[in-house]
Amino acid sequence: MIIAVDGPAASGKGSIARAIAAHFGLPHMDTGLLYRATALNLLETGGDPESEFGAARATDISQIRFDDPELKSETVGGLASRISAYPLVREALLERQKRFAAQDGGAVLDGRDIGTVIAPEADVKIFVTATSEIRAERRFAELKRSGLDVHLPDVLADIRTRDERDSHRAAAPLVMADDAILLDTSEMNLEQAIAAAIEAVEARRTQ
Ligand code: DC
């Protein structure tokens, strides 16, 4: 069973995808990490984010530790969003994601284009969303908890910039697949959102 979980920044799709994977005993891939690792590699090697070729070279991420906390920073997230608009970057990261999705026994992947590009054949597609204000508040609380001195209006502005860029790029933009289930978590806490997602998977599975 392939389960695709897509959605905008800070929608909770990562936590939901991890919980679905644990519940159904499936391997999970956070595909945003591939773009973040590319962005971090570009930063560390002093590459030019304005150059599509330079960014594509940075997709050689064998040296990146996937537990590096820098990967989760807003700087790296913002740069990941910028370079993910380059078709050459997306192409370089495509095969790895497709292979993960197609492994025996199935998988859960979360990102922006899983249900539309990486695994259009997915058995279940969930599109997780929430209003930008709610997502900003959640991200703000998370950043505060990790000890960062952040301001809510800045976090909201960052989220809106990322939404705009991720949704309007020409290559594999963030759009809900026609056959996806919409999960608006604006009025839910994480526990409720996870329960709703698992229920949606069960319902599709038994159809
Ligand atoms: O999900 P995230 O915030 O970790 O993703 C970081 C950026 O990577 C996001 O702003 C856009 C890009 N991305 C993408 O273009 N396609 C994906 N499947 C996952 C992430």
Tens digit of pLDDT for each residue in 124-174? 999 999 999 999 999 999 889 988 889 999 999 999 999 999 999 999 899
Cα-to-chain-centroid distance, residue 36:
10
d(CA 207, CA 197): 16
Beta strands in the chain (DSSP E): 2-6, 28-30, 107-111, 124-129, 181-184
Residue 71 has pLDDT above 80, yes or no: yes
- Considering the domain 2-205, what is its CATH architecture? 3-Layer(aba) Sandwich (3.40)
CB 139 near ligand 1, within 6 Å: no
- In this structure, of 63-67, 77-81, 156-160, the range with the lowest mean pLDDT score is 63-67
Predicted pLDDT of residue 176 = 95
Per DSSP, the residues of 101-117 read HTSTT-EEEEESSIIII
**Domain-by-domain residue ranges, the chain?**
2-205
DSSP code at position 120? T
pLDDT band at residue 53 using 50, 70 and 90 as cut-offs = very high
30 SS3 class:
strand
Q: Which residue minimizes the CA distance to atom 16 of ligand 1?
A: 112
- Ligand 1 atom at minimal distance to the Cα of residue 114: 18
CB 85 near ligand 1, within 6 Å: no
User: Quick one: tokens of 1?
Assistant: 């069973």
- Kindly give the distance from the C-alpha atom of residue 73 to the centroid of ligand 1, in angstroms, as a whole number: 13
